Amino acid sequence: MTTRWFGEPVRRNEDPRFLTGEGTYVDDIHPPGTLQAAVLRSPIAHANITKIDVCAARALEGVVAVWTWEDLGDVFRPSPMSVPHESLTHPKTQYPLARDKVNYVGEPIAFVVAHDRYIAEDACDVIEVDFEPLPAVVDLEAAVAPDAILVHDDVPGNVAATLTQQVGDPDRAFAEADHVFTARLYLERGAGQPMETRAVLAQWDELEHVLTVWDTTQAPLSIRNGLAVLLGLPENGVRVVAPDVGGGFGTKIMMFYAEEVLVPLAAYKLRRPVKWVEDRREHLIASNHERGQLHESAIALRADGTILGVRDTFLHDTGAYTPYGIVVPIVTSTQLPGPYRIPNYFSESRTVYTNKVPVSPYRGAGRPHGVFVMERLIDLAAREMGMDRAEIRFKNFIAPDEFPYDVGLTFQDGAPTRYDSGNYQAGLAKVLSHIDYEGFPAYQARMRDEGRFIGLGMASYVEGTGIGPYEGAHVRVDGTAQKVVVATCVGTQGQGHETSFAQIVADELGIRPDQVEITTGDSRSMNWGSGTYASRSAVVTGNAVGVSARAVRAKAATIAAELFEANPADIEFENERVFVNGSPEYGLPLWDVAIVANPIRYAYGSQAAKAIAMRKQRPGPPLPDGDDPGLEARKYFSPAQAAFASGNHAAIVEVDPETGIVTILRYVAVHDCGRVINPMIVEGQVHGGVAQGIGGSFYERMVYTPEGQPLSTTFMDYLIPTAMEIPSIEVDHIETPSPLNPLGIKGAGEAGVIPVPALMAQALEDALSPWKVRVTELPLNPGEIRALVRAGIDPEHVNA
Amino acid sequence: MIVTERAVSVSVNGATYARTIPVRLLLSDFIRNELGLTGTHLGCEHGVCGCCTILLDGQAVRSCLMFAVQADGHELITVEGLAPAPGQLHPLQEAFRQEHALQCGYCTPGFLTTLIPFLESNRDPSELEIRQALSGNLCRCTGYQNIVKAVQRAAREMRTVEPGR
């Protein structure tokens, strides 16, 4: 029986180094003579700069360089608009350093390179900048008011883009509906906040004429390509490495963050290694945020609860720039319909400039917002129409036999939003059974009798994952080292790629996952690729690894078949051996086949030497036409469209109406990401996602004053939930394999976070139903929940 | 004259290091940059996240909240000093691996160093006690539950290994 690794909870290859302190994060790399950089950032949200004086900073002992925009030469240009869109009529990307105006607190103004970070920060302290403050645009609705102050003088109304999408005839649907309900819904700003902040180290190699850049980026090849253009170097003159990266969650993908230009430029110009490591305050005020949308929405239904149509118009806060185009609002508008059949749908988003940190995708990337709106509308309809909230969902789910199902919208990759497979009924039924939905009302009543207020929430979502254009993998059997070496160029930030990709290879080649060494995020090992985002690495790179390993297997089978005069189809791979099916004695270690595969080889092992001797002399050249030496292959996988994962979550929460404190008593997630490579890893992804969703529901909030001053500037203000707030999360799976890729997988990285705010809103309302509390925005802290209770109506709890 | 440098002598993972260092140098920067022990990570540098936790005379402390000069004459243990030998893992480290209690690995050293004295003082902790012990360390990847399971497993293992203690 062949061991199959795919689907097993294989322990991770990467763990031993992380557990012993031997991981290599960017700040752990410190070439001799490395200089350290610091960035002077704007303390004002909106201002003209009238003067920058760096004399005192330059004079400081230990300071090597102090740069303002004037020192940047040709590099002083705006970052490329990496995701253009026809609706994005007024895009704005950032310059590496501000010239005559700043548009948010945290915007870089000057860049200091010194012998150490302490001195670099001393130098920042003595740079003098004169500002002429301008009124700031902070509130979303104020930003689009007729007399609004403009963030950018040449962007009328502060609107970067207006995007509309429509399916069917929403006007007619609303006119003919038996019921129409409307809601105004808001999700506040939040951010990924990986435990490792961003960092960049660059070193110019005078011998090789290569600029090596170690960067916490999720997309090293994109950075490599951009830097080569910007610095006028050939592509192979820039090497970008994303080594071990301490979490990303979307925040670490940008083209470019200013420091990703300034640090390489400094290393190139100064001919010294230069390092910049962001501190947490910088990360909170100057690395990209997300969430931040205000929706006005409506749902139209027939009397029996059938959804006829949904209308949604929303304002999307993009901050001061649009570095990531309008990806987030596109995803919101296309993923809002979720698992429901919505024949008539109208969505209009306005992407609005404000004097705040730019916005780019954070785990979930627009979906938590859309799902919040859709689920809130369904909850509203169910309540007003007196329907059971599960029943209305089952009634409107797309049926299992309707796939592929075309939603009628254009997804973020420009392809149709066409669901490839799924079974939303089975998912919801499973989660409701786990949480005992049927028994809940009795439980709730019993608890109420004890003076405890508990509520149940459920939410469902669909997530487009694994978009193109493509990723590649290079798989090579190293016969001498007796391992398989795999190169990919997606960055990895904790997802366990070194293990799940190894499982795929191990199955193909009949070896163990710990015999497979995966390289991620090094532009030198793969020249083409895109990056880790949109829950795509397992889908796109995983399948590239799979097809490459399969090609290696085919080649090894051909060689073995030739040696043993057998049919390649009869060659088996097991326990590191390649052999003729049914005749294990006719076989060789895989490692020896690799040695045989090279016409120029030095075989010391007796078996390998024997095998080489066995290989018959063929006519023609030693390396036949069309053949390559060695046991290796480099293949790419390019999906036609996204693979649509889905999930159904449910939770039971307890709310203390006196204090507003919420305790999550149970949380169950039923998840469908197609075929699961490693359930341990997938469940870990779901746990972490849910935890971030809980943070975004109750704790995490980027607060700005009306003047645009960020107040969430430490972890004492921006509250990351701890082990005391996050419950144990029960995870179960259903598997509807994707027909769109050979492995049948869908992405899982973002999934956990998506339905949490929607679910928590419902659970809060359920728990606080005696007060008829309505939840229309999140996060809500205890004080705000308490305020909702006080404002509520409750004949029985007049003193509450 | 203001003293800007001072000589210190610190024992780290059993080896003694004598250095003359700026008085404003953080202990965390001293460990990472002067001693090259980069397993101790910095997540916030204001004492909340716990990534930089080390053991100082057996107690878990935040190295970002101390100056290096304050460690003069003390014994430190960092994550590099936890495993019994190269290529081996401490039972707590092994439990973290078995329970998938780490993803990106960045917060992990701080969790391990926080938990060593905890498990020494409480050999059979309840889930609530474990969660309280973890509550000063932030993890952004795992949602904590596998860390809790790892601590439970490690406590079991450590009781079996040293039943007489």
Residue A606's pLDDT band, with cuts at 50, 70 and 90, is: low
Co-location of B112 and B146 in the same domain: yes
Q: A773-792: per-residue pLDDT in tens?
A: 999 999 999 999 999 999 98
CB-based burial label for B121 (10 Å; 0-12, 13-18, 19+): exposed
Residue B162's pLDDT band, with cuts at 50, 70 and 90, is: low
Do the Cβ atoms of A12 and B138 come within 8 Å? no
Ordered domains of chain A (ranges, CATH): 31-134+196-246+252-286 (3.90.1170.50), 290-467+640-791 (3.30.365.10), 468-637 (3.30.365.10)
Instruction: Give the torsion sign (CA, A523, A526, A529, A532).
Output: negative
- Please report residues of A whose CB lies closer than 8 A to that of B24: 118
Is the Cβ of A679 closer than 8 Å to some Cβ of chain B? no
Q: What is the DSSP letter of A522?
A: B
Give the residue from A24, A195, A245, A712 with the most B CB atoms within 10 Å of its CB, the best one to mutate.
A195
pLDDT of residue A82: 83
Co-location of B45 and B105 in the same domain: no
Co-location of B24 and B74 in the same domain: yes
For residue A459 the two structure tokens come to 């939410």
Co-location of B19 and B41 in the same domain: yes
Neighbours of A542 (CB within 10 A): 27
pLDDT of residue A96: 97
**How far is the C-alpha of A311 from the C-alpha of A171, rounded, in Å?**
9
Q: Percentage of chain B with pLDDT > 90?
A: 93
- Residue B120's CATH number: 1.10.150.120
Query: Would the pLDDT of A2 be above 80?
Result: no
pLDDT of residue A775: 97
By CA distance, what is A13's nearest residue in B?
Answer: B97
- Please report residues of A whose CB lies closer than 8 A to that of B102: 15, 18-19, 494
The answer to whether residue B54 is domain-embedded is yes
Q: In terms of DSSP bridges, do strands A777-778 and A179-190 run parallel, antiparallel, or are they unpaired?
A: parallel
- Please report residues of A whose CB lies closer than 8 A to that of B109: 21
Residue A799's pLDDT band, with cuts at 50, 70 and 90, is: very low
Q: What is the DSSP letter of A90?
A: S
The residue among A673, A671, A663, A684 whose CA lies nearest residue A755 is: A671
A59: Cβ–Cβ under 8 A, 6 or more apart, which residues?
A: none
pLDDT of residue A798: 46
Q: A379-392: per-residue pLDDT in tens?
A: 999 999 999 999 99
Co-location of B74 and B101 in the same domain: no
- Please report residues of A whose CB lies closer than 8 A to that of B146: 684, 687
The answer to whether residue B111 is domain-embedded is yes
Q: A366-419: per-residue pLDDT in tens?
A: 999 999 999 999 999 999 999 999 999 999 999 999 999 999 999 988 899 999
The answer to whether residue B132 is domain-embedded is yes
The residue among A522, A535, A551 whose CA lies nearest residue A467 is: A535
Q: Which residues on adjacent β-strands are paired with residue A563?
A: none
pLDDT of residue A781: 97
Co-location of B18 and B77 in the same domain: yes
Query: Would the pLDDT of A503 be above 90?
Result: yes
Instruction: Give chain A's mean pLDDT.
Output: 95
The answer to whether residue B86 is domain-embedded is no
Boundary of a domain, candidates B18, B53, B81: B81
Residue A602's pLDDT band, with cuts at 50, 70 and 90, is: confident
pLDDT of residue A660: 97
What residue has token string 């930030």? A493
Distance from CA of A347 to the nearest CA of B (A): 33
Co-location of B95 and B130 in the same domain: yes
Distance from CA of A57 to the nearest CA of B (A): 20
Q: What is the DSSP string of A639-657?
A: -SS-EEEEEEEEEEEEE-T
Query: Would the pLDDT of B35 be above 70?
Result: yes
pLDDT of residue B1: 64
ipTM of this model?
Answer: 0.97
Give the CA count within 13 Å in the CB-facing half-sphere of A196.
35
pLDDT of residue A794: 65
- Compute φ and ψ for A794, nearest 5 degrees: -155, 105
Structurally, chain B folds into a number of domains equal to 2
Co-location of B95 and B157 in the same domain: yes
Query: Would the pLDDT of A619 be above 90?
Result: no
Nearest CB neighbour to B104, from listed A197, A247, A724: A247
Task: Report, as an integer, the average pLDDT of A147-156.
Answer: 97
Cβ–Cβ < 8 Å for A267, A206: no
Cβ–Cβ < 8 Å for A393, A460: yes
The residue among A693, A700, A703 whose CA lies nearest residue A760 is: A693
Domain range for B40 is 5-81
The answer to whether residue B34 is domain-embedded is yes
- Residue B36's CATH number: 3.10.20.30
Nearest CB neighbour to A21, from listed B100, B109, B144: B109
The answer to whether residue B76 is domain-embedded is yes
Do the Cβ atoms of A15 and B140 come within 8 Å? no
Q: Percentage of chain A with pLDDT > 70?
A: 98
Query: Would the pLDDT of A32 be above 80?
Result: yes
Neighbours of A585 (CB within 10 A): 7
Residue B83's pLDDT band, with cuts at 50, 70 and 90, is: very high
Boundary of a domain, candidates B81, B109, B125: B81
Co-location of B75 and B98 in the same domain: no
Taking only residues 550 to 589 of chain A, the set having a beta carbon closer than 8 angstroms to any beta carbon of chain B reads none
Lay out the sheet containing A128-133: strands in order across: A101-102, A47-53, A128-133
Residue A1's pLDDT band, with cuts at 50, 70 and 90, is: very low
Give the residue from B67, B90, B103, B132 with the most A CB atoms within 10 Å of its CB, the best one to mutate.
B103
**How far is the C-alpha of B78 from the C-alpha of B30, rounded, in Å?**
12
pLDDT of residue A795: 52
**Which range is least confidently modeled, A57-61, B84-88, B125-129?**
B84-88
Cβ–Cβ < 8 Å for A313, A295: yes
Nearest CB neighbour to A19, from listed B45, B93, B130: B93
Task: Report, as an integer, the average pLDDT of A503-517.
Answer: 97
Task: Report, as an integer, the average pLDDT of A672-681.
Answer: 96
Amino acid identity at A730:
E
By CA distance, what is A29's nearest residue in B?
Answer: B38
Is the Cβ of A33 closer than 8 Å to some Cβ of chain B? no
Boundary of a domain, candidates B81, B102, B126: B81
- Please report residues of A whose CB lies closer than 8 A to that of B131: 723-724
Co-location of B64 and B97 in the same domain: no
Q: B11-34: per-residue pLDDT in tens?
A: 999 999 999 999 999 999 999 999
Q: What is the DSSP letter of B32?
A: I
pLDDT of residue B161: 73
Co-location of B95 and B148 in the same domain: yes
The residue among B88, B76, B84, B89 whose CA lies nearest residue B13 is: B76
Higher pLDDT, A277 or A520: A277
Instruction: Give the torsion sign (CA, A671, A676, A520, A25).
Output: positive
Query: Would the pLDDT of A700 be above 90?
Result: yes
Give the residue from B44, B126, B135, B151 with the most A CB atoms within 10 Å of its CB, the best one to mutate.
B44
